[in-house]
Homo-oligomer: A and B are copies of this chain.
Amino acid sequence: MTEAFGDRLASAVEARASQLVVGLDPDPARLWPRAYQLAAQAGDKAGGSAASRAASAVAAHCALVIEAVADHAVAVKPQVACFERLGSPGWASLAETVHRARERGLLVLADAKRGDIDVTAAAYAQAYLGTTPTPYGEVEGLGADAVTVNPLLGADSLEPLVRAAREHGAGIFALVRTSNRGAADLQDRRLESGLTVSELLAELVRRLGLEGVGRAGLSDVGAVVGATAPERLARLRGLMPHTIFLLPGVGAQGGRVEDLGAARGVHAASALISASRSIVAAGEEHGGDPAAAAAAQAARLRDLAWSLGG
């Protein structure tokens, strides 16, 4: 039988003593210098278009970042947009990055924020969590452990993704309260019922996840809750007791690990701290080798989070 996502994550968090998720948002114009060198060596053989050369550098960069942070993190979170903008070669580099991370024992949370009507949601589930039947055989999807989704279209748009996730021991993370300023435009609005839009989404997440709670008490339907709005955490935790919170916005966006205590639920794995630029670009701020700086910053964030509720 497939192990539930919450249990897989709980085991990984315990084994690594880490709740840290490292975001991979590669900008092909600002990769680690070593990535360009590695790509040039590969490029000398392959030649190729700007897109394929950039994608090759992006894949090399992500491999270096994964290597640097692997001992300190439990998962990586590749931002799909950053690969998608390089087209077909970009998708190949995303697949390669997923493969690398899993080889290093990291879980992969694909940050795709997909959301669409049921037929299309099923296609996205095939793309990220499952396989696609074709007359030429099954086509493997990305093989992510989880994917972020957008719940604006309601329950029936998420159900195909929940079903696919559950079948594969994977998870989904639905947006509940995002880390950006504009989140206030809609998510913080209060409904006639008295709930805010975020709170309504929290109810939806809780309900969709009820049948996906594993032995560790964690559901396979998680929530994205921005680390930039810590005052909302206790309320949202109350509405979603078994939900894994993915907390982006630490570092570059202004969120602080120290302020996230209220996100803690039934298990150390119930609150995942996600940081991207503050780790990967740590060398730009603090100087020194980018990989060493990233490793040091990842270790620091990991220890800080663990000390607050490991």
Q: Which residues of B contact A142 (CB under 8 A)?
A: 87
Binding site for B on A (CB under 8 A): 25, 28-29, 36, 50-51, 53-54, 57, 79, 81-82, 84-92, 95, 113-121, 123-124, 126-127, 132-142, 150-158, 175, 178-187, 189-193, 197, 200-201, 204, 253
CA separation between A36 and B136, bound complex, in Å? 10
User: Chain B nearest CB: distance from A89 CB in Å?
Assistant: 7
Q: Which residues of B contact A51 (CB under 8 A)?
A: 139-140
CA distance in complex: A57, B139 (Å)? 13
- CB closest residue in chain B, given A141: B85
- Chain B residues with Cβ under 8 A from A139's Cβ? 28, 50-51, 54, 85-87
In the assembled complex, the Cα of A36 lies from the Cα of B134 at a distance in Å of 11
For A95, what are the chain B residues with a Cβ–Cβ distance below 8 Å? 87-88
Shortest A231–chain B CB gap in Å is 18
CA–CA, A116 to B154, complex, Å?
Answer: 18
Q: Which of B88, B134, B179, B204 contacts A50 (CB 8 A)?
A: B134
Residue in chain B with minimal CB distance to A185: B154
Q: Are A25 and B120 in contact (CB under 8 A)?
A: yes
Quote the shortest CB–CB distance from A271 to chain B (angstroms). Answer: 20
What separation, in Å, do the CA atoms of A119 and B85 have in the docked complex?
Answer: 13
Q: A116-B113, A192-B191, A197-B197 are in contact. Are A153 and B134 (CB under 8 A)?
A: no
- What separation, in Å, do the CA atoms of A81 and B80 have in the docked complex? 13
Complex contact B28–A132 (CB within 8 A):
yes
